[in-house]
Amino acid sequence: MIFAFVLLLAAPKETKQEVRFQADNCSYGRAMAKAVCTGRVRVDRGNARLRCRSLTVRFDEAGRVHQLVCEGAVKFRRGDTEEASGSTASYTRDDARVVLQGDAKLRRGRARLSGDRVIFMLDEDQVRVEGQARGRFNNEER
């Protein structure tokens, strides 16, 4: 059974993006402070898509999503040109960023990069690779 629900997340500026997530199973902690979802987890925000095996959702005092943490076979995609993977990913509403860690890899166009962390700024056209950053660029046409 797929369990899905929708929440509105506000970026620090006045931008609002709807975040949708679904999974095979979800359970809630007391007072809705935390939810844990497992099995075929999918999170969507605008043109960004995140997939993983386990998702922990933390709520603020007002019951709004504050943070998402994905674990296990994490795949992230933004638009048609950016893909990343890692063992964990976190999203914090106030930063509007997705941070992938653990064998973090990025494919952006013809560039292939890896490092300790791949950081996507969701409200900007920017990606950073930090810590032991390395990569290659393919200039050949396909």
- For 53-93, the pLDDT digits (tens) are 999 988 888 878 889 999 999 999 988 889 999 999 999 88
3-class secondary-structure state, position 60:
coil
Which amino acid does the sequence have at 48? A
What is the domain partition of the chain in residue ranges?
Answer: 3-137
Helix, strand, coil distribution of the chain in percent, nearest 5: 0, 70, 25
- Contacts of 118 by beta carbon, 8 Å cutoff, 6+ apart: 84, 86, 99, 100, 104, 105, 106, 127, 128, 129
Fold for 3-137, please state it: lipopolysaccharide transport protein A fold (2.60.450)
Paired residues of 7 in beta bridges:
19
* Longest CA span, the chain: 55
Q: What does pTM read for this prediction? A: 0.78
Q: Answer whether residue 5 shows pLDDT above 70.
A: no
